[in-house]
Amino acid sequence: MICCPGGDFCALANAKSIPIAEAIQRKFSNHEDLKDIGPLTVNISGCMNACGHHHVGNIGILGVDKKGDEFYQVSLGGSAENHTTLGSIIGPSFAQEEIPGVLEKVIAVYRDQRNDNERFLDTFHRIGMGPFKEKVYAKAD
């Protein structure tokens, strides 16, 4: 995970980044689960200056200001590897407290859809944004 200092330490930021990184770390703290997930980059930026390089994270998170409130756009499919790609925004932004659950849903789709030993990025490129978007924005029963 790469995280810029965000609103806690940067006057340019629209939103805090460090609390997002901490919440994600708490949600995904089981070492065995992390081994099962495999290689995956999560990049978090507190503003469009992109110090956290959110646009090239397999999962990118960008802090945005909506009328004085902090929200977070999530993008998928970015990569800074040899075949560089920019992530695509999944849809409308989320409140801070929603982000760990959003990532949990994204990872659940990946785990359900991946082939043997397939990395997140490869699964994303194979199945596209649709299944991720459907799961993330599904109404709770």
Is 141 part of any domain? no
Statement: residue 14 has pLDDT above 60:
yes
Summarised one tens digit per residue, pLDDT across range 67-124 is 889 999 999 999 999 889 999 999 999 999 999 999 999 999 999 999 998 999 999 9
Tell me if the pTM is above 0.85.
yes
Task: Find the helix or strand (DSSP H, E) in which 76 lies.
Answer: strand 69-76
CA–CA dist 16, 3 (Å, integer) = 10
Q: Are 54 and 44 in contact (CB under 8 A)?
A: yes
The DSSP line for 26-53 is HHT--HHHHHHH-S--EEEESSTT-TT-
> Any idea what the CATH number is for the domain that residue 92 is in?
3.30.413.10
Instruction: Please give the residue range of the domain that contains residue 127.
Output: 2-136
pLDDT confidence of residue 141: 52
Task: Give the total number of structural domains in the chain.
Answer: 1
φ and ψ of 124, to 5 deg: -60, -45
pLDDT confidence of residue 16: 94
CA–CA dist 113, 93 (Å, integer) = 24
pLDDT confidence of residue 12: 87
Summarised one tens digit per residue, pLDDT across range 17-38 is 999 999 999 999 999 999 999 9
Paired tokens of 117: 């030993």
Is 122 part of any domain? yes
At residue 62's C-alpha, the angle toward residues 79 and 132, to 5°, is 65
